[in-house]
């Protein structure tokens, strides 16, 4: 009986030991699994099937959004092209793929004749030939809001192919390019005239006597398109004068996948109008035009402080005249009348010219007598002013420093577009 109990106790002890070892083994496995799980969680993202599918979806989404963002750089006619594809009856991807295939297979595409033949081939493509004319008209209507150039049948096709990546080259004819430049100058002059903006000596960096080279025609066309858009913003800002406007260089600066066109222009207007011009250039991103305002230099226009601190000592007399009827301003003779200066291309800083106006008098006085009479009347008025309290004088509260509300602003601006869409 005792031996049986001892055997049973021994068996139970063995089972307990085996169970203990199994428990330790399970604990070690649990710790190992916990470490592996922690390592997997630390990976970004955790490599499970659900995450892989989400990653692929995110990748496609961000690729599409990135493409839209990149295409906006310089793709001014994005919305007109959308109308074009819609009327043509194909998607953008379908058209672009076939368009590139036709370009790659085009013989002599590096010549003007070869590119003309390529345009004909594209228009006759069986997949959309029947709808091409309607699609061209839809593009023309939508594109009218994207440029100051008047879109007509003769230039609508060139503008369309330029938007598709085949830059405008006017068939390589310099005379056609000069005609285009003249038309664009006319469009710009018209918008300035409607906005009552006075022009200084402005040739936009393209003197009328300068003839462009045939190879530079695509660059010249791009310059005038950009210049026209900047001038449109200037006309909408409320500035009074466009004093200067020039390109910094003919060929744009290449920077990776982007091309930069550089301009400098000088305007005169109120602080509000200059600030509005700055905002209009920044807001052009909504129209797929990207301007980077590198700097704006501001100068007060016609401020008397400049006269007071002049090196020639003339400011002393200006300060002494503070007690006169109109301090700091030379009194006009009754024989002289200020009239607006309506000349273009030679604006005077004073904004006015003087003309002689005949004065009818009961008795004709000599010039010296008339001057003496005018000075006597002026002195009498000044003596009456001096007897008044200072706060009742006509000059009380008149601004001497910073009296001008007009400012001169010099803008340094770059226009940026993406280079990847150009075929030629």
Distance CA(421)–CA(415), nearest Å, equals: 16
Does residue 11 belong to any structural domain of this protein?
Answer: no
Does residue 365 belong to any structural domain of this protein?
Answer: no
Residue length, the chain? 424
Bigger pLDDT: 67 or 284?
284
Listed ranges 7-11, 45-49, 148-152; the one with the highest mean pLDDT: 148-152
Burial (0-12, 13-18, 19+ Cβ within 10 Å), 415: buried
Please report the pLDDT score of residue 196 as a whole number.
96
Please report the pLDDT score of residue 28 as a whole number.
77
Model confidence at 398, pLDDT cuts 50, 70, 90, reads low
Does residue 257 belong to any structural domain of this protein?
Answer: yes
Based on the fold, state whether residues 418 and 377 are members of the same structural domain.
no
pLDDT tens figures, 23-67: 777 777 777 777 777 776 666 655 567 777 888 888 888 877 777
Bigger pLDDT: 379 or 401?
379
Mean predicted lDDT score pLDDT of the chain: 80
Domain boundary among 164, 189, 214: 164
Does residue 222 belong to any structural domain of this protein?
Answer: yes
Is the confidence at residue 150, as pLDDT, over 60?
yes
Based on the fold, state whether residues 120 and 206 are members of the same structural domain.
no
Model confidence at 179, pLDDT cuts 50, 70, 90, reads very high
Question: Can you name the residues that pair with 245 across neighbouring β-strands?
Answer: 265
Based on the fold, state whether residues 83 and 131 are members of the same structural domain.
yes
Bigger pLDDT: 70 or 96?
96
Model confidence at 419, pLDDT cuts 50, 70, 90, reads confident
Based on the fold, state whether residues 297 and 414 are members of the same structural domain.
yes
Distance CA(291)–CA(261), nearest Å, equals: 9
Does residue 178 belong to any structural domain of this protein?
Answer: no
pLDDT tens figures, 207-228: 877 889 999 999 999 999 999 9
Bigger pLDDT: 348 or 125?
125
Please report the pLDDT score of residue 325 as a whole number.
45
Please report the pLDDT score of residue 410 as a whole number.
95
State which residues form the domain around 65.
55-164
Is the confidence at residue 68, as pLDDT, over 80?
no
Model confidence at 355, pLDDT cuts 50, 70, 90, reads very low
Does residue 352 belong to any structural domain of this protein?
Answer: no
Number of domains present in the structure of the chain: 3
Q: Using alpha carbons, list the distances in angstroms from residue 177 to 182, 191, 210, 247, 256.
A: 9, 21, 12, 18, 29
Task: Calculate mean pLDDT across residues 409-424.
Answer: 86
Is the confidence at residue 285, as pLDDT, over 70?
yes
Please report the pLDDT score of residue 64 as a whole number.
77
CATH, residue 273: 3.30.70.60
Based on the fold, state whether residues 138 and 271 are members of the same structural domain.
no
Q: Are 72 and 78 in contact (CB under 8 A)?
A: yes
Distance CA(124)–CA(118), nearest Å, equals: 10
Bigger pLDDT: 238 or 36?
238
Based on the fold, state whether residues 409 and 288 are members of the same structural domain.
yes
Residue with tokens 């003087």: 354
Does residue 360 belong to any structural domain of this protein?
Answer: no
The DSSP code sequence of 115-136 is HHHHHHHHHT-TTTGGGHHHHH
Distance CA(166)–CA(109), nearest Å, equals: 11
Is the confidence at residue 291, as pLDDT, over 90?
yes
Task: Calculate mean pLDDT across residues 365-386.
Answer: 74
- With H, G, I as helix, E, B as strand and everything else as coil, classify residue 36: helix
Model confidence at 305, pLDDT cuts 50, 70, 90, reads low
Bigger pLDDT: 72 or 179?
179
Based on the fold, state whether residues 116 and 230 are members of the same structural domain.
no
**pLDDT above 70 coverage of the chain, percent:** 71
Domain boundary among 144, 164, 184: 164
The DSSP code sequence of 371-415 is HHHHHHHHHHHHHHHHTS-GGGSTTTT---SS----EEEEEEEEE
Based on the fold, state whether residues 67 and 155 are members of the same structural domain.
yes
Q: Are 165 and 421 in contact (CB under 8 A)?
A: yes
Based on the fold, state whether residues 314 and 277 are members of the same structural domain.
no
Look at phi and psi of residue 383 and say left if phi exceeds 0, alpha if psi is from -120 to 50, else beta: alpha
Structure tokens, 13: 């002890």
Does residue 185 belong to any structural domain of this protein?
Answer: no
**CB half-sphere exposure, 327, CA atoms < 13 A:** 24
Please report the pLDDT score of residue 33 as a whole number.
76
Based on the fold, state whether residues 93 and 224 are members of the same structural domain.
no
Based on the fold, state whether residues 90 and 222 are members of the same structural domain.
no
Bigger pLDDT: 116 or 412?
412
Please report the pLDDT score of residue 323 as a whole number.
46
Please report the pLDDT score of residue 113 as a whole number.
86
Based on the fold, state whether residues 325 and 382 are members of the same structural domain.
yes
Structure tokens, 145: 């809001």
Structure tokens, 57: 């979806």
Is the confidence at residue 348, as pLDDT, over 90?
no
Question: Can you name the residues that pair with 262 across neighbouring β-strands?
Answer: 414
Task: Calculate mean pLDDT across residues 302-308.
Answer: 58
């Amino acid at each position: 009986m005792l031996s049986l109990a001892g055997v049973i106790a021994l068996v139970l002890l063995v089972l307990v030991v085996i169970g203990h070892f199994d428990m330790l083994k399970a604990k070690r496995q649990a710790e190992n699994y916990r470490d592996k799980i922690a390592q997997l969680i630390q990976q970004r993202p955790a490599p499970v099937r659900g995450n892989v599918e989400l990653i692929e979806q995110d990748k496609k989404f961000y690729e599409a959004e990135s493409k839209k963002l990149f295409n906006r750089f310089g793709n001014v006619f994005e919305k007109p092209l959308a109308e074009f594809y819609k009327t043509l009856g194909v998607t953008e991807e379908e058209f672009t793929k076939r368009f590139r295939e036709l370009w790659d297979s085009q013989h002599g595409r590096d010549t003007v004749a070869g590119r003309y033949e390529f345009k004909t081939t594209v228009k006759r493509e069986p997949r959309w030939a029947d709808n091409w004319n309607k699609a061209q008209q839809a593009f023309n209507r939508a594109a009218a809001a994207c440029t100051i150039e008047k879109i007509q049948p003769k230039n609508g096709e060139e503008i369309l192919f330029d938007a598709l990546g085949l830059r405008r080259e006017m068939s390589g004819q310099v005379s056609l390019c000069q005609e285009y430049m003249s038309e664009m100058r006319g469009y710009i002059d018209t918008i300035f005239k409607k906005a009552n903006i006075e022009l200084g000596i402005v040739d936009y960096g393209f003197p009328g006597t300068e003839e462009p080279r045939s190879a530079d025609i695509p660059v010249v066309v791009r310059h005038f398109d950009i210049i026209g858009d900047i001038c449109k913003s200037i006309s909408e800002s409320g500035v009074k004068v466009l004093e200067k406007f020039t390109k910094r260089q003919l060929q744009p600066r290449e920077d990776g996948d982007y091309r930069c066109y550089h301009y400098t222009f000088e305007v005169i207007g109120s602080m509000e109008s200059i600030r509005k011009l700055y905002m209009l250039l920044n807001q052009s991103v909504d129209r797929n035009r990207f301007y980077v305002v590198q700097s704006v230099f501001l100068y007060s226009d016609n401020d008397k402080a400049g006269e007071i601190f002049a090196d020639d000592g003339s400011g002393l007399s200006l300060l002494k005249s503070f007690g006169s009827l109109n301090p700091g301003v030379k009194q006009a003779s009754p024989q002289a009348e200020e009239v607006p200066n309506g000349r273009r291309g030679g604006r005077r800083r004073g904004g006015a010219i003087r003309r002689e106006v005949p004065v009818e008098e009961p008795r004709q006085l000599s010039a010296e007598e008339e001057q003496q009479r005018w000075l006597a009347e002026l002195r009498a008025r000044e003596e009456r002013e001096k007897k008044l309290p200072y706060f009742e004088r006509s000059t009380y509260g008149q601004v001497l420093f910073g009296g001008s509300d007009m400012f001169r602003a010099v803008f340094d601006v770059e226009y940026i577009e993406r280079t990847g869409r150009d075929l030629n």
